[in-house]
Homo-oligomer: A and B are copies of this chain.
Amino acid sequence: MDLGKRKIIVQKYGGTSVGSVERIKEVARRIAERKKEYDAIAVVVSAMGKETDRLISLAGELTGSPSLREIDVLLSSGEQVSAALLVMALEERGVNARSFLSFQIPILTDERHAAALIREIRVEKLLQCFQEGCVAVVAGFQGITQTGEITTLGRGGSDTTAVALAAALNADFCEIYTDVNGVYTCDPQIHAARKLARISYEGMMELAGLGAKVLHNRCVELARKFNVKIHVRSSFNNEEGTWVNGREEEMEGALISSVTYSREEAKISVLGVPDKPGIASMIFIPLAEMGINVDMIIQNIGRQNAADLTFTVHEEDLEKALQVVKKVAVEIGAEGVHSDRNIAKISIVGGGMHSNPGVASLMFQVLAREGINIMMISTSEIKISCIIDSRYTELAVRILHDAFKLGES
């Protein structure tokens, strides 16, 4: 086989896709189908269903502060089991296959346990496997350091393994199988949504950052960097999913593609902040040092050279952030600190916003018409986000989806 002339594809199956023996058999059936068209298939698997949670919970019963090195040894066993079982299911169908753990390829990473970055994937052993007509089944989510330590890649790890593998193998594309049918114009549980046939890397990254849970940002960034075409689709049916590929600037005329929301935000206001240079950094530097991400920030200049400073953080970080902010507020002589968990971030995402100023004003009008107050606004080249009262989340998604005619293809 001359691999130079063959099409190579990478597939990735997530936890629910390999969540049971029956699901693993179904995945094997799918791979066997694909094998008729492609001689070279690398398959990346996640741990079965709730296996990772089970292992984390065992560790939690033993210690409140496990060493990350050992967490990686523990968790990487999950994908190892999935990989071996999938090979057995493939062999049972008469498809030659072989499992690969990170150290066997190797997939080399840096030394950061639980959040390792892939440095290099050597593909020789995989190519040899392809030459022998074998499907390569790779345990996702994990890597190995130069000194032979097991690492894991952190959130979205198996997606990242798949995209990195597709880049290293120069694969035609990377299929990411999950439990949803693709990327939608909004949450299908809230409103009749339309599945997008295609979205740009940048659009997908905004969506992932804004609450869409289909693909992790990190894997999309990697795909963008190496120009890997991703096809996000369901392993529970045969529908075409959504292709993630191409850059936003190449997509002229593509306007708003989706409405997203996140209720996982909280708002902190520091009231009556003296208007002096350096005050903002006194608040935001300690937050950054604690690893707390600040998303949106506004400052209203008010009476007597004092301002109100308002910003949002992930609601999980609220308590920690408040501790810091209350302390700083006293130091800088602010009048007080308020916080609010009952907010939501509603965003519209798509290309061409910069050249279509009408988009933002339409969004504000539509929300105003329903009496929804906009507390904060932030914009980028390809999205506009508004913070609103969380009780209006579903209403806002529906009216924006309709106003931007996202249900029509």
Contacts and interface: CB of A to CB of B under 8 A. Distances in A.
Interface residues of A, number: 38
A122 to B, nearest CB: 12
A73 B77 contact: no
A103 B148 contact: yes
Interface stretch (A84-92, A275-283, A393-401): A84-92
Interface stretch (A38-46, A54-62, A187-195, A199-207): A54-62
Contact of A66 (B70, B80, B88): B88
Contacts of A76: 80
A73 B101 contact: yes
A312 interface: no
B88 A70 contact: yes
Contacts of A91: 63, 66-67, 70
Residue from A85, A98, A149 having most chain B Cβ neighbours under 10 A:
A85
A87 B81 CA distance: 21
A24 B195 CA distance: 49
A21 interface: yes
A6 to B, nearest CB: 25
A85 B101 contact: no
A169 B25 CA distance: 45
A73 B77 CA distance: 10
A99 interface: yes
A205 to B, nearest CB: 34
Contact of A63 (B58, B64, B88): B88
A296 B92 CA distance: 40
A238 to B, nearest CB: 22
B92 A62 contact: yes
B21 A104 contact: no
Given A58-B21, A62-B25, A148-B103, A80 B73 contact: yes
Contacts of A61: 21
A74 interface: yes
Contacts of A78: 77
Contact of A74 (B25, B58, B85): B85
A70 B80 CA distance: 10
A103 B92 CA distance: 28
A85 B99 contact: no
A87 B58 contact: no
A22 to B, nearest CB: 9
Given A80-B77, A92-B63, A104-B148, A58 B70 contact: no
A164 interface: no
Contacts of A98: 69
Contacts of A62: 21, 24-25, 85, 88-89, 92
B81 A67 contact: no
A69 to B, nearest CB: 8
A96 to B, nearest CB: 10
Nearest to A72: B84
A73 B84 contact: yes
Given A59-B88, A104-B148, 20 more contacts: A21-B58, A21-B61, A21-B62, A24-B62, A25-B62, A58-B85, A59-B85, A63-B88, A63-B92, A66-B91, A67-B91, A69-B98, A69-B99, A70-B91, A73-B80, A73-B99, A74-B84, A77-B77, A77-B80, A103-B103
17 contacts: A24-B62, A58-B81, A59-B88, A62-B85, A63-B92, A70-B88, A70-B99, A73-B83, A73-B87, A74-B81, A74-B85, A74-B88, A77-B77, A77-B81, A77-B84, A103-B103, A104-B149
Interface of A: 21, 24-25, 55, 58-59, 61-64, 66-67, 69-71, 73-74, 76-78, 80-81, 83-85, 87-89, 91-92, 98-99, 101, 103-104, 148-150
Which 9 pairs of residues, A with B, have the shortest CB-CB distance? A74-B84, A63-B92, A77-B77, A73-B84, A21-B61, A70-B84, A66-B88, A70-B87, A62-B88
